[in-house]
């Protein structure tokens, strides 16, 4: 099986599983389901990478996993300090105010963005564009699906607008960082992931301070 076939096969199947599960499961009891879906993504991805012999994909997963874990901290700050985000309480274990499954959820959109951009000219720009589409869709669907919801910020159709440029940046920056650190050791990759997380926090704070008031005035 080629890596491309494995990528599209697994992600197509996973999208179908999520659609059926989330649409058919009562929102109030989705805690275990959400945790199971995040875990299933990682296990299914690893199985598809092993079946296709995709070593590059495995290295990318190893780069994104610590980044996803680190991204719990920006979410924590947005909930507890900035008071612009809340996670729906499904009764699952949390890291501070952030559901535990979020530590693995960031891998999903970022892995898709970076693999779709891989090998393209100006790949970081492609990754940023894919991030805008994928994160934008996630932000729009999250309140309806009972995942998280913005508060106290300018929005459009339930979507927080201030965070979209920051998530777009994260897609492009993660691609550029991955190209720089791939094959250069785990310590450098983990340190780079930590740097991306810290940059994300700073950009989110700037966007809240500068962009959100402007959006409030316009909307």
Q: Which residues contact 29 (CB under 8 A, 6 or more apart)?
A: 90
pLDDT of residue 146: 80
Q: What is the pLDDT of residues 75-85, one digit of tens each?
A: 999 999 999 99
* Residue 30 confidence (pLDDT) above 80: no
* Residue 22 confidence (pLDDT) above 90: no
Mean pLDDT value across residues 195-215? 97
pLDDT of residue 28: 61
Computed over every residue of the chain, the mean pLDDT equals 93
Q: What is the pLDDT of residues 138-179, one digit of tens each?
A: 999 998 888 899 999 999 888 999 999 999 999 999 999 999
pLDDT of residue 27: 65
Mean pLDDT value across residues 86-93? 85
- Please give the share of the chain, as a percent, with pLDDT higher than 70: 98
Given CA atoms 52, 55, 56, 59 in this order, what sign does their dihedral have?
positive
* Residue 71 confidence (pLDDT) above 80: yes
Q: What is the pLDDT of residues 103-141, one digit of tens each?
A: 999 999 999 999 999 989 999 999 999 999 999 999 999
Q: Where are the domains of the chain?
A: 64-218
* Residue 41 confidence (pLDDT) above 80: yes
In whole angstroms, give the CA distance from residue 204 to residue 211.
Answer: 10
Asked whether 49 and 87 are in contact (CB, 8 A), the reply is no
Asked whether 14 and 79 are in contact (CB, 8 A), the reply is no
- Please give the share of the chain, as a percent, with pLDDT higher than 90: 80
* Residue 66 confidence (pLDDT) above 80: yes
Q: What are the angstrom distances between the C-alpha of 100 and each of 30, 33, 135?
A: 14, 13, 20
């Amino acid at each position: 099986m080629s890596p491309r076939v494995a990528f599209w096969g697994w992600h197509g199947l996973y999208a179908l599983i999520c659609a059926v599960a989330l649409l058919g499961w009562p929102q109030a009891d989705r805690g275990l389901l959400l945790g199971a879906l995040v875990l299933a993504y990682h296990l299914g991805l690893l199985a598809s990478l092993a079946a296709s012999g995709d070593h590059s994909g495995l290295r990318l997963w190893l780069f994104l996993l610590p980044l996803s874990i680190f991204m719990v901290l920006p979410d924590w700050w947005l909930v507890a300090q900035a008071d612009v985000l809340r996670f729906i309480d499904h009764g699952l274990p949390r890291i501070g105010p952030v559901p535990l499954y979020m530590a693995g959820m960031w891998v999903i959109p970022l892995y898709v963005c970076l693999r779709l951009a891989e090998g393209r000219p100006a790949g970081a720009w492609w990754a940023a564009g894919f991030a805008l589409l994928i994160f934008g869709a996630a932000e729009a669907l999250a309140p309806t699906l009972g995942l998280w919801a913005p508060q106290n910020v300018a929005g459009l159709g339930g979507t927080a607008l201030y965070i979209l440029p920051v998530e777009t940046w994260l897609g492009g920056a993660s691609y550029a960082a991955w190209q720089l650190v791939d094959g250069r050791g785990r310590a450098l990759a983990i340190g780079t992931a930590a740097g991306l997380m810290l940059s994300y926090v700073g950009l989110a704070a700037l966007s809240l301070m500068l962009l959100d008031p402007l959006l409030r005035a316009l909307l």
